[in-house]
Each structure stands twice: as structure tokens, then as C-alpha cells.
């Protein structure tokens, strides 16, 4: 068998993950390492390193304060803007709040969106996705939840990919 | 920036892991093998997402380990083209800048991907964008350590599996090793509105001035 040692890629399309999904997954990985019988840094040094470094990077991005419910509400609210999945993903990951950032993320935004629509999109981002700078401002619907929400990974992914990618 | 790669692989479980359940052993083996490594044309592997199918396990003559065909999904870092990302400037030279994301260091912004009217300042060893307003030219420095936003314009995978010794070429293999081949490079561009240092585009542009003042104050204290 030739491919015993070579990892064969089955699906070249590759579903895209939001930063929030990776963030929660890696938190689970690190938690298991802390609680588990074996020390993650000893048995799985590579995994521990990359998980720790990636978490550190993601903690500086807006995804740290996001909740699945908020993301879903945001996607609902932006349904009518005819955005591509890549654009929606970046709106969630980067949380743009200035017109310059919007134009950068949305291709040919001058032709596709009017100035009012860009402003509307910005206010939707501000309304639904929490502002990292103002941590104490909670959306009324967001009940105080523990920082680490353990939810079935596969389900979360299904919900996001359906929402992100089904309506083009 | 992150993707799920679906991969099929024959996983070898050595006998000393037979005490665990097959699932646990496979998860551990896959993470040990792939985490923090670049797979050619797939990306930088981060962590196992889930296992989609486990085949039958086989034992081959002369090997006490079991072999199981596994299909799984792995989280990989592989930004798509035109994606906007943020990182920190790691170093700069006349050819361009290197940007780090913390877990991944091989983002390069080449000199032809800078803003127009940019130049490399030899004394400060930084790239500078000469931003011209109607009556003045502002020198916007891109210091090492600054937070930078870039657009992904190209990617490059290099097969780094060691080749056999090249007897004809002699010393060249030694030179190769010194250079340190990078398996996965992302090329970024900052030549568009909104790209470049994050502080340029937030608020009213006062960020830079404040930073300069702070630096001056620190300098005074040191004296």
C-alpha cells in the first residue's frame, strides 16, 4: 500500500471555520490537558505548543467575546445584503466598524452597497457582535455564561456552516 | 483563516497503546503526528476536529502494531486568497517585512506589495510610508512589533522532505540546510486603503502621535 505513510487528502474544498469555533475547540483541548490524567505538555508537546500559541493569538481578536447565539443573530440580520460566505466569515472574525474596513472586506463594495447600507452593516456589527474594548457591555439576551461553553463540537460546526454557506 | 481538511490515513497503533480504547489511541496518534506541522498543499495543522470513519484494524506479519484506516477532519491554518488578517511585524529588511501571527511566523510582505511612496529607512531599519496630504508629507513608520493588517495575495508550499544525498552537487546540500527551507509561506500585501498598521485607520489618526509622545516620556525617564 503506497499511501500508508502519506496522509491522503479526501476533501480538497475544505470547510472554513470561524475564529470563534477554533477558539472554543482549542480551549477544550487545553482543558482536557489540565484535567486529564496525563500532562499535555509532556505527552503531546506539539499539540500543546500550537494550541497555546493559537489561543494566545485568538484571545486578541474579537472572537473571544462572541457567542454562537450572537453570531447566528448577526447572520440572520445580514441576510439581505447578499454577501458571500467569505465576506460573512471575515465580518465575524474581524468585526469591522469603520467604512474603510468594510470596503476592504467587501469586494467592490462601492458598486454593491450604497453608503447607507455600509452604515447599516456597521451598526449591525456593533449591535450583535460584542465590542472587545468594552467588556462589561452585555447584550441583554446574553446571559452570563461561564467563559468556556462546552457544547458538542460537531453540532456547532453544522450550525455555522449551514448558516454561513447555504445562502449564497 | 482556519479550514477543516478531511484526510484519510492509515494509523499505526503500537502495542503499548492497546490498553486504551481505539478511539483515544487514534486521537492521540493523529495529534502527535500532525499538530504543529505543515502538510504539503493542506496547511499548518492545529488540532484534530473529529473522526468521521474508522475502518477495520489489521496486524501485518512482523509488526506487533495494529493498522487502522481512519478518515478524520483536522483544523488547519490556511488563509484563502484575498483574506484580511492581522499580525505583528517581526522583522524588516530592504526586501520587505516579516509578519508573525504568534503561532505562525512565515508571512512576508514584499517591497512591491507596500503602499506606493514607501521606502526602507536604512538607519531605523524600518519601512516608512510617506503619506502625502495637500500641504504636508507624513512619514508613517512601520516599526517592528507594530500591529499590521494585510491581505493574503499568494501562498507557497515547499516539499521539505529530505532528498537523498546529492553526490554530484557536493556542498550544495549543506547550503540548503543552512538556509532552512520553509514549508509554507504566505505572502501578504498592504497596498490598499485600510491595510498597513492598524493604528493608521482607527479613530482620527491620533494614535501615532500619542505613541510618539509616550516614547519620548519613557526616554526622559531613562535619562
Of the two residues B75 and A145, the one the predictor is more confident about is B75
Instruction: Tell me the mean pLDDT in the region B136-142.
Output: 84
Side-chain-facing half-sphere of B211: CA atoms under 13 Å: 14
Residue B74 has pLDDT above 90, yes or no: yes
> How far A131 CA sits from the closest chain B CA (Å)?
14
Cβ–Cβ of A44/B31 closer than 8 Å?
Answer: yes
pLDDT at B52: 92
Q: Looking at the partner chain, which of A15, A50, A54 has a beta carbon nearest the beta carbon of B4?
A: A15
Residue B160 contacts A where some CB pair is shorter than 8 Å: no
**Cross-chain CB nearest to A104 (options B76, B77, B193):** B193
Q: Say whether the ipTM exceeds 0.85.
A: no
Average pLDDT over residues B104-124: 89
Tell me if A53 sits within 8 A of B103, measured CB to CB.
Answer: yes
DSSP B128: E
Residue A35 to chain B, least CA–CA distance (Å) = 16
Instruction: Identify all chain A residues contacting B1, using CB atoms and an 8 Å cutoff.
Output: 19, 93
Question: Considering only residues 97 to 116 of chain B, which have any Cβ-Cβ distance to chain A shorter than 8 Å?
Answer: 101-103
DSSP H helical ranges for chain B: 22-34, 172-179, 198-201, 206-222
Intra-chain end-to-end CA distance of chain B, in Å: 45
Q: If residue A32 lies in a helix (H) or strand (E), which one and from where to where? A: helix A19-35
The backbone torsions φ and ψ at residue B86, rounded to the nearest 5 degrees and listed phi first, read -120, 145
Q: How many residues does the structure list for chain B?
A: 223
pLDDT at B84 over 90: yes
Amino acid at each position: 500500500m503506497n499511501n500508508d505513510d502519506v496522509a491522503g487528502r479526501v476533501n480538497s474544498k475544505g470547510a472554513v471555520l470561524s475564529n470563534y469555533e477554533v477558539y472554543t475547540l482549542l480551549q477544550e483541548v487545553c482543558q482536557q490537558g489540565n484535567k486529564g490524567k496525563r500532562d499535555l505538555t509532556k505527552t503531546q508537546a506539539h499539540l500543546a505548543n500550537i494550541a497555546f500559541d493559537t489561543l494566545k493569538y485568538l484571545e486578541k481578536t474579537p472572537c473571544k467575546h462572541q457567542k454562537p447565539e450572537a453570531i447566528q443573530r448577526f447572520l440572520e440580520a445580514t441576510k439581505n445584503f447578499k454577501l458571500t460566505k467569505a465576506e460573512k466569515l471575515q465580518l465575524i472574525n474581524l468585526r469591522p466598524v469603520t467604512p474603510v474596513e468594510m470596503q476592504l472586506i467587501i469586494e467592490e463594495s462601492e458598486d454593491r452597497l450604497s453608503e447607507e447600507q455600509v452604515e447599516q452593516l456597521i451598526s449591525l456589527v456593533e449591535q450583535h457582535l460584542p465590542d472587545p474594548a468594552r467588556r462589561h457591555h452585555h447584550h441583554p439576551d446574553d446571559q452570563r455564561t461561564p467563559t468556556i461553553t462546552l457544547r458538542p463540537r460537531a453540532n456547532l460546526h453544522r450550525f455555522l456552516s449551514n448558516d454561513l454557506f447555504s445562502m449564497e | 483563516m482556519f479550514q477543516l481538511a478531511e484526510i484519510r490515513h492509515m494509523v499505526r497503533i503500537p502495542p503499548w497503546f492497546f490498553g486504551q480504547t481505539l478511539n483515544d489511541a487514534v486521537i492521540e496518534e493523529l495529534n502527535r503526528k500532525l499538530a504543529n506541522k505543515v502538510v504539503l498543499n493542506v496547511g499548518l495543522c492545529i488540532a484534530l476536529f473529529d473522526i468521521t470513519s474508522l475502518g477495520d484494524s489489521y496486524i501485518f506479519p512482523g509488526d506487533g502494531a495494529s493498522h487502522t484506516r481512519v478518515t478524520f477532519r483536522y483544523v488547519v491554518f490556511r488563509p484563502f486568497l484575498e483574506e484580511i488578517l492581522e499580525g505583528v511585524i517581526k522583522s524588516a529588511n530592504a526586501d520587505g517585512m516579516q509578519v508573525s501571527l504568534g503561532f505562525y511566523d512565515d508571512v512576508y510582505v514584499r517591497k512591491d506589495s507596500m503602499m506606493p511612496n514607501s521606502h526602507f529607512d536604512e538607519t531605523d531599519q524600518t519601512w516608512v510610508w510617506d503619506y502625502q496630504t495637500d500641504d504636508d508629507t507624513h512619514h508613517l513608520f512601520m516599526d517592528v512589533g507594530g500591529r499590521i493588517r494585510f491581505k493574503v495575495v499568494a501562498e507557497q508550499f515547499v516539499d521539505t522532505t529530505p532528498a537523498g544525498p546529492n553526490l554530484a552537487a557536493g556542498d550544495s546540500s549543506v547550503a540548503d540546510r543552512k538556509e532552512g527551507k520553509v514549508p509554507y509561506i504566505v505572502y501578504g500585501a498592504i497596498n490598499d486603503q485600510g491595510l498597513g498598521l492598524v493604528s493608521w485607520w482607527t479613530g482620527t489618526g491620533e494614535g501615532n502621535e500619542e505613541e510618539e509622545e509616550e516614547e519620548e516620556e519613557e526616554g526622559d525617564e531613562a535619562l
